[in-house]
Homo-oligomer: A and B are copies of this chain.
Amino acid sequence: MATNSTTRHAALSVAVDLVIFTVRDGTLQVLLIERGKDPFRGMSALPGGYVREGETLDHAARRELAEETSVSSPQLHLEQLRAYGDPARDPRGRVISIAYLALCPGLPEPVAGTDAHAARWAGIHDAAATTLAFDHAAILNDALEQARSRLEYTTGAAAFCAEPFTVTDLRLVYEAVWGLPLDPSNFRRKVTRAASFIEPTGGRRLHFGRPAALYRRGPAQFLSPPLLRAPDITRSGSDDPATAQNRPASG
């Protein structure tokens, strides 16, 4: 905030990149586009775009999200992940990218964006095995860990569920995002006891067996007590918390 302007660079732009997650068919999926122009033409990438003049970062992210999902934005969970600013991350020049994480209920179908590119839902395993443009593989990785962490400490999992939803719907979200099977009985106990996580609508959904009670999202944003994953065998290692985004918290 107080350096001589001689060190300021000339060509610089700021973009937002979106990691849009959804859960469909019990699988965590991410929205990928196929780039229609260079650089990385024809390669898969995260959706995104430049921040416009006079526009908030959050607004730019919401705008891009609406363009890609064609869903009324205010419904969707959207939060900033972090900034990526390696000087070499974009061959066209210096582009700082602010990554956002969006959690969406199962959306109709892959939607074509306004730009000349094809959009598709990719399973998280497929996406991780795909070579992505720019540093999007790293962004996706950070976003995935952020999402997994969010499910532990916040009520964000419900953002994946279209209302009304059942406890089983919610559990399938956890299982898809964490990639773990959960005990249905213990899961029910935890989510129903957590204050203001979910609220019964009074309705029921009929499939085949016993009808399931329906719920809507409650007002709580944080889960107390948190709904932790397995006793942290995967997390107590020597990872860097600043890089492995908020495994407990951040963004």
CB within 8 Å of B: which residues of A? 1-3, 5, 7-9, 12-15, 17, 33, 35-37, 45-57, 77-87, 94-98, 115, 117, 133-134, 146, 149-150, 152-154, 156, 195-196, 219-226, 228, 231-232, 235-242, 245-251
**Can you tell how many copies of this chain the complex includes?**
2
Q: Which residues of B contact A5 (CB under 8 A)?
A: 50
For the complex, what is the distance from the CA of A226 to the CA of B149, rounded to whole Å? 13
Q: SS class of chain A's interface: helix, strand, loop or mixed?
A: loop
Q: Which residues of B contact A156 (CB under 8 A)?
A: 241
Known: A239-B222, A246-B250. A48 touches B82 (CB 8 A): no
Q: Which 9 A-B pairs have the closest CB atoms?
A: A250-B251, A153-B248, A249-B249, A246-B249, A251-B251, A246-B250, A79-B242, A224-B232, A57-B85
Known: A37-B2, A54-B87. A150 touches B17 (CB 8 A): no
Question: CB distance A134 to B251 under 8 Å?
Answer: no
Known: A1-B134, A3-B115, A48-B1. A153 touches B247 (CB 8 A): yes
Question: Which B residue sits closest to A233, measured CB to CB?
Answer: B224
Q: Which residues of B contact A220 (CB under 8 A)?
A: 236-238
